């Protein structure tokens, strides 16, 4: 048996390693923990916690499976014999040309052909997580800031800030205008940064938005472009939910705005895309950066060495996404199914006396529970959240985790479960609200 000599001083790790900017120590992870400890299962654990905090798209898998079954020889290219060797050796950071062409084409189709994309401007990354971090490394120095409209995806706190040491300055949006960004809010955030001697390098928007599931209006996009041009800063448009807009024509991409201006001043604009949401393939780690700036394309491509997409996966998706019959049908059907899900949850919540923000995209809705709060504070919001987690057994995301400045809002995901499960969840909410009403009456 070894005798342990006196304990050595704890070995130093980096500041990045010891910081908590990865965000996982936040109280919201209690929700995940509760789910992990008691996960709902229709058959085996019908009273477990239903996961409504995960923005996944599971409504259209059958279409993917159908495609694969029909074209398995084509799709199997990645592990098929004839091209296995070439594919396994392919580590060029440009990415497979066929894949880039297929992605560019898919992005065009998602935008109803209203924008064109050049395959040579498509840079591959292992997921949108990597794409967002990479762009931040390229656009900003440590200590600089990006302006991000609130509420925003909680993962941005890690993706944009952790290893880059870049700050996020929130652009406050509120319900008075359906949480749309205003020039005044942008200006205020910019001034706030200036007052603290922080250099703003860009604005990052998510369109369609996470967490409130609505597309950004054309006029707002134009105002944002005007703002970034005036300030001579960058604009990153994270459009990973573009294929999840319920109605194609309601989504306006920043690419369309630029095209309508003949690409004037477009070298400051960069788009992030991914197949994790629209195609429901988060495990495959398929992210892209599309930049109108040659330097950014070149640099991002070099940097993507740290985070390339598996050539096996590129090959599979190149086949799938270049089949236009498949993609047109998929895009159309997926939108329709998401819309039906959305209507189902909105109706269900409404009949329980709960209103949501009017949404038209995404895999979630933005639920207003402010009437349930004793006081309009973050603590009261967390109290309600705790109740919903432990009594109603639903893991939903409190607005404060998204930096929402108005307490009482919650993001509820609806596309990561079967319709049956959604009905069960809605029934639980219904019963909960009824009980509360009864209690309040007494």
b/e map 144-167, b = 16+ CB within 10 Å: bbbbbbbbbbbebbbbbbbbbbbb
- Give the nearer residue to another protein in terms of CB position, either 131 or 396: 131
**277 catalytic per annotation:** yes
- Give the nearer residue to another protein in terms of CB position, either 17 or 439: 17
Q: Which of 28, 152, 153, 290 is catalytic?
A: 153
Quick check: bond before 211 cis, omega within 30? yes
The gap between the terminal CA atoms of the chain, to the nearest Å, is 68
Residue 198 CB, shortest distance to another protein, in Å, is 15
Q: Contact region for another protein (CB under 8 A) — 45-53, 145-153, 281-289, 403-411?
A: 281-289
**238 catalytic per annotation:** yes
Binding test (CB under 8 A) with another protein, winner from 167, 301, 393, 428 = 301
Rounded to whole angstroms, how far apart are CA atoms 265 and 429?
49
Binding to another protein, residues 10-49 (CB under 8 A) = 10-17, 22, 24
Q: Are 395 and 389 in contact (CB under 8 A)?
A: yes
Rounded to whole angstroms, how far apart are CA atoms 92 and 374?
57
- Tokens representing residue 304 in the block: 């993507």
- Tokens representing residue 230 in the block: 């005036």
Alpha helices in 213-276 (DSSP H): 218-231, 254-260
What does DSSP assign to residue 96?
A: -
Rounded to whole angstroms, how far apart are CA atoms 206 and 97?
27
Binding test (CB under 8 A) with another protein, winner from 149, 154, 211, 282 = 282
Binding test (CB under 8 A) with another protein, winner from 176, 195, 197, 232 = 232
Binding test (CB under 8 A) with another protein, winner from 192, 222, 250, 265 = 265
- Give the nearer residue to another protein in terms of CB position, either 90 or 323: 90
Binding flags for another protein, 43-82, as an x/- string (CB under 8 A): -------------x-x--x--xx--xx--x--xx-xx-x-
Binding to another protein, residues 110-139 (CB under 8 A) = 118, 121, 126-127, 129-130, 133, 137-139
Binding test (CB under 8 A) with another protein, winner from 48, 84, 336, 430 = 84
Q: Which of 167, 201, 277, 393 is catalytic?
A: 277
- Give the nearer residue to another protein in terms of CB position, either 118 or 355: 118
Binding to another protein, residues 147-166 (CB under 8 A) = 158-159, 163
Rounded to whole angstroms, how far apart are CA atoms 396 and 410?
7
Planar angle of CA 199, 201, 207, nearest 5 degrees: 135
Write out the catalytic residue numbers: 153, 238, 240, 277
């Amino acid at each position: 048996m070894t005798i342990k000599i006196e304990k050595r001083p704890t070995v130093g790790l980096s500041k990045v390693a010891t910081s908590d900017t990865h965000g996982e120590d936040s109280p919201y992870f209690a929700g995940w923990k509760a789910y992990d400890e008691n996960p709902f299962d229709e058959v085996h654990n019908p009273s477990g916690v239903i996961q409504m905090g995960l923005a996944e798209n599971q409504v259209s898998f059958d279409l993917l499976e159908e495609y694969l079954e029909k074209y398995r020889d084509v799709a199997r290219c990645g592990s098929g014999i004839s091209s296995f060797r070439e594919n396994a050796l392919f580590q060029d950071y440009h990415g497979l040309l066929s894949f880039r062409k297929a992605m560019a084409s898919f992005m065009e189709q998602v935008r109803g052909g209203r924008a064109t994309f050049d395959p040579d401007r498509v840079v591959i990354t292992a997921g949108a997580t990597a794409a967002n971090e990479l762009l931040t490394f390229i656009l900003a120095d440590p200590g600089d800031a990006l302006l991000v409209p609130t509420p925003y995806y909680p993962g941005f706190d890690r993706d944009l800030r952790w290893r880059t040491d870049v700050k996020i300055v929130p652009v406050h949006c509120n319900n008075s205008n359906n949480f749309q960004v205003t020039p005044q809010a942008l200006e205020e955030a910019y001034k706030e940064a200036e007052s603290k001697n922080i250099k703003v390098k860009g604005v990052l928007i998510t369109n369609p938005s996470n967490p409130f599931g609505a597309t950004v209006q054309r006029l707002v996009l134009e105002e944002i472009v005007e703002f970034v041009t005036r300030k001579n800063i960058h604009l990153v448009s994270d459009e990973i939910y573009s294929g999840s807009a319920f109605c194609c024509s309601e989504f306006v991409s920043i690419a369309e705005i630029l095209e309508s201006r003949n690409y004037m001043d477009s070298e400051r604009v960069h788009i992030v895309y991914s197949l994790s949401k629209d195609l429901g393939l988060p495990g495959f780690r398929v992210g892209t950066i599309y930049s109108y700036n040659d330097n950014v394309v070149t640099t991002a491509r070099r940097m993507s060495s740290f985070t390339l997409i598996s050539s096996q996966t590129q090959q599979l998706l190149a086949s799938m996404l270049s089949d236009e019959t498949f993609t047109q049908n998929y895009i159309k059907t997926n939108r329709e199914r998401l819309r039906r899900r959305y209507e189902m949850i909105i109706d269900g919540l409404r009949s329980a006396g709960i209103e949501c923000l009017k949404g038209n995209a995404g895999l979630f809705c933005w639920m207003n529970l402010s009437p349930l709060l004793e006081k309009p504070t973050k603590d009261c919001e967390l109290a309600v959240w705790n109740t919903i987690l432990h009594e109603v057994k639903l893991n939903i995301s409190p607005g404060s985790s998204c930096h929402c400045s108005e307490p009482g809002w919650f993001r509820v995901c609806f596309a990561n479960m079967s319709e049956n499960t959604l009905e069960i969840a809605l029934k639980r909410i219904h019963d909960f609200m009824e009980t509360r009403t009864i209690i309040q009456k007494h």
